[in-house]
Amino acid sequence: MKKLALHWKILIGMVLGVVLGIVWQQFMDQGYVIGFKRVAIPITKQIILDWIQPLGTIFINLLKLIAIPLIIASLIKGISDLGDISKFSKIGGRTIGIYVLSTLVAVSIGLITVNIINPGNGISEETINQLMVDYGADAGNKVAAANEQQESGPLDFVVNIVPDNIFGAASSNGNMLQVIFFVVFFGICLLLIKPEQAKPVKDFFDGLNEVILKMVDLIMLTAPYAVFALLMNLVVSTTNTELFSALGKYAFAVVFGLILMLVVYLIIVKLYTGKSPQFFMKGIAPAQLLAFSTSSSAATLPVTMERVEEHLGVQKEVASFVCPVGATINMDGTSLYQAVAAVFICQALSFDLTFMDQLTIVITATLASIGSAAVPGAGMVMLVIVLESVGLPAEKLALGIALIFAVDRPLDMCRTVINISGDATVSMIVAKSVGKLGSPKVKNWDDNLAE
């Protein structure tokens, strides 16, 4: 009997998590209890928090656990395999250039979509006030975090890329750019010394890379169960469904824009690499589903790299550089969302935007996405910066952020899918441009584990 592919297992886990979450929430609201002999256990949210949510948390922690070791091992191996520093500079330059260009395209698509749909028209004053009551405190925290980030100097971003202690930098996934800087520096120096001196170091990292990849294989066997736990907890924890419907037009604008961006990726892949949309979607599907469940590009990074190399045919020396860099500076989905959210907020609060204001959104959203933390909720902080760039009054900032807080988490899940899809697309483009795009190596995760 043919084994079920991993992406189908994950999809089944997602569907079961959503369905059982809805059923559990209904029973919870009506005060049902579970009877075991003489013991009656009430159906509550706390049961999910105590017994279901930890399964998803452990899974995410495992992926984050191997993210930094994977970047170190695979990037050093990838650079050393190039054997020529000129090849590395070519890959690096093309990667950064394409990422910036794709972000500009994403923001532009977002602006076109939101101006056509006009989701901010028709939001009632009552809905705005209710959202402020429910999410005003959280919105204030995001505004404060953005203001703190804006107080930094113009070159602080560049300064922060260079770590003063590699062990300190490697202790947090939030310092991924610092780790990449050190590893790239290390890999370049490895290319510049004599081959016989570099060989023992290269052999060590080659072996370490294989061990880390096998850890990814083992962790991914639990993905369907973890995704079930994550989605069920999300559904049970969801409140204020009436407000969701009030923001439905805005959510539709975001999702529609994200779908358009995915279509752009598929067209580019087909025209430039000759690979079919079906090939791309089948190859990257498990990473997309995982990104949707975790809302974190960083947590999904080990899976993204595995799928890009093993299933999309991108050679390791390209995938090991393009994917980690993309997880930190390529936020196409987040940038598109910021464009839609910024215009939506201004529409709802009757704050008119000129053409120059919208051009400012394009530039600011692109720059803000570079170096943004690849974790859930980082887009909100970036959005505050974008809104301030177009002159939205300070007293309306928290109100504007509160306006979209109710639906931010599900939209965060959707835009993370586009973020990692963009990383995979650029990996294929760069690989094709330098002759490093080949055929997939394995058929599915179970086969990979059995090797």
The chain-wide mean pLDDT, for the chain, equals: 86
Ordered by start, the domain boundaries in the chain are 6-450
pLDDT at 246 over 80: no
CATH topology (fold) of 6-450? Proton glutamate symport protein (1.10.3860)
Each residue's pLDDT tens digit, 253-272: 999 999 999 999 999 999 99
Q: Which residue has the tokens 């656990």?
A: 65
Nearby residues of 47 by Cβ (< 8 Å), 6 or more positions away: 41
Rounded CA-CA distance 440/443 in Å is 8
Cα-trace Rg, the chain: 23
Q: Which of 265, 271, 68 is nearest to 178 (CA)?
A: 68
Each residue's pLDDT tens digit, 123-172: 778 777 777 777 777 777 777 766 666 666 667 777 888 999 999 999 98
pLDDT of residue 415: 93
Each residue's pLDDT tens digit, 53-89: 999 999 999 999 998 999 899 889 888 888 778 888 8
Rounded mean pLDDT of 48-54?
93
Percentage, residues of the chain above pLDDT 90: 54
pLDDT at 340 over 80: yes
Each residue's pLDDT tens digit, 353-405: 999 999 999 888 887 776 554 445 566 777 888 898 899 988 788 888 888 88
Rounded mean pLDDT of 278-306?
93
pLDDT of residue 450: 44
